[in-house]
């Protein structure tokens, strides 16, 4: 008897070999709390983003800033109470000293054109567009979570461009990794320009920028000025830049401590290697 069709499993008889279904991916957890639904597979950067937020949410509970019955959604959304508690936690945990006069002068010496007139800025952004029917609350939570992740990432690395390609509703996301090039205030919507220009902040801004188009996570890659200014005129702005740099370093160290003490399952959040804490 010709058994080749049975051996190949193509004849439909009971002797056909059984096919073992592929195992569903394991659920990633932080201290036993699931980061996504069973069977769901998330991109590595989104999974790390959720893990980072969950570490902070649980620490807020541990320090009595958030009710014990608060729980994250399997879609990554956090409650309004959790968002406020995380902000309070970071205010408490990240004690960033004000930069001293010597540090500010050293920065000014290294950046003599800082704060000059005729400012231009090299910008990148991730746009979360507000469109009819969109849940603005959930949109804001997603944007705030990404903002936190990118403020902790290596600003010289690819994290921002990758996030723009994945999340941005602006054509610049796919085409240029969110890069808008060198702009002046006149190149932008007035409400966007008011929040980005007129300050000397560089790096990923510490707040979402609002415009008629939606919510923006903005990175100021560099600024150019037409004329240098005296140190006394830019002392306060330099202090803001240095304090932001110190905040990022403090946040990375804090997340490293939380990650090292947590029971982590199914997510690559190694304290030495994760872009969240480098």
Per-residue pLDDT reduced to its tens digit, 107-139 = 988 877 676 656 789 999 999 998 777 788 888
User: What are residue 224's DSSP bridge partners?
Assistant: 120
pLDDT at 83 over 80: yes
Poorest-pLDDT segment among 14-18, 157-161, 215-219: 14-18
Per-residue pLDDT, 128: 94
> pLDDT confidence of 258, banded at 50, 70, 90?
very high
> pLDDT confidence of 20, banded at 50, 70, 90?
low
Distance CA 116, CA 200 (A): 10
pLDDT at 62 over 90: yes
pLDDT at 52 over 70: yes
Sign of CA dihedral 107, 113, 118, 120: negative
Rounded mean pLDDT of the chain? 82
Distance CA 132, CA 134 (A): 6
Per-residue pLDDT, 117: 58
* Structure tokens given for 31: 């201290």
User: What are residue 203's DSSP bridge partners?
Assistant: 220
pLDDT at 22 over 80: no
> pLDDT confidence of 74, banded at 50, 70, 90?
confident
* Structure tokens given for 46: 């989104």
Backbone angles phi, psi at 157, to 5 degrees: -100, -165
> SS3 of 109, please?
helix
CA atoms within 13 A on the CB side of 140: 10
Per-residue pLDDT, 271: 39
Neighbours of 128 (CB within 10 A): 23
pLDDT in tens, 184-222: 888 888 889 888 987 888 899 989 999 988 999 999 999
Per-residue pLDDT, 267: 85
**Residues in Cβ contact with 41 at an 8 Å cutoff, skipping those fewer than 6 apart:** 25
Distance CA 41, CA 26 (A): 9
Per-residue pLDDT, 30: 92
**Residues in Cβ contact with 68 at an 8 Å cutoff, skipping those fewer than 6 apart:** 61
Predicted TM-score of the model (pTM):
0.54
Per-residue pLDDT, 163: 92
Poorest-pLDDT segment among 107-121, 158-172, 232-246: 107-121
Would you mind telling me the total number of residues written for the chain in this entry? 278
Per-residue pLDDT, 2: 44
How far, in whole angstroms, is CA 86 from its chain's centroid? 15
Per-residue pLDDT, 18: 54
Is 73 or 61 the better-scoring residue by pLDDT?
A: 61
Would you say 141 and 77 are in contact if contact means Cβ atoms under 8 Å apart? yes
Distance CA 56, CA 39 (A): 25
Per-residue pLDDT, 112: 74
The arrangement of strands across the sheet holding 33-34 comes to: 33-34, 29-30, 264-265
Task: Specify the long-range contacts of residues 186-191, CB closer than 8 Å, at least 24 apart.
Answer: 189/213
Region 102-106: mean pLDDT is 94
Per-residue pLDDT, 24: 56
Per-residue pLDDT, 7: 40
Is 13 or 220 the better-scoring residue by pLDDT?
A: 220
């Amino acid at each position: 008897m010709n058994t080749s069709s049975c051996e190949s499993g193509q004849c439909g008889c009971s002797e056909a070999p059984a096919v073992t279904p592929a195992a569903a991916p394991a659920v990633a957890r932080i201290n036993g709390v699931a980061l996504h639904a069973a069977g769901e597979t998330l991109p590595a950067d989104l999974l790390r983003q959720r893990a980072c937020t969950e570490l902070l949410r649980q620490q807020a509970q541990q320090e009595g800033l958030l009710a014990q019955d608060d729980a994250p959604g399997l879609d990554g959304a956090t409650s309004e109470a959790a968002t406020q508690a995380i902000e309070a936690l970071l205010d408490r945990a990240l004690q960033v000293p004000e930069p001293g006069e010597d540090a500010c002068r050293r920065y000014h010496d290294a950046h003599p054109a800082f704060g000059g007139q005729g400012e231009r800025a090299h910008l990148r952004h991730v746009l979360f567009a507000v469109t009819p029917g969109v849940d603005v609350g959930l949109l804001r939570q997603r944007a705030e979570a990404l903002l936190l992740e990118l403020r902790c990432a290596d600003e010289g690395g690819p994290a921002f461009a990758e996030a723009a390609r994945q999340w941005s509703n602006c054509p610049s996301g796919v085409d240029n990794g969110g890069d808008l090039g060198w702009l002046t205030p006149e190149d932008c919507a007035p409400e966007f320009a008011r929040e980005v220009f007129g300050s000397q902040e560089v790096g990923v801004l510490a707040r979402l920028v609002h415009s008629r188009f939606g919510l923006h996570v903005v990175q100021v890659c560099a600024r150019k000025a037409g004329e240098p200014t005296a140190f006394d005129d830019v002392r306060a702005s330099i202090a803001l830049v240095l304090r932001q740099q110190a905040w990022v370093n403090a946040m990375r160290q804090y997340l490293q401590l939380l990650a090292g003490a947590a029971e982590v399952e199914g997510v690559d959040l190694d304290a030495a290697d994760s872009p969240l804490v480098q």
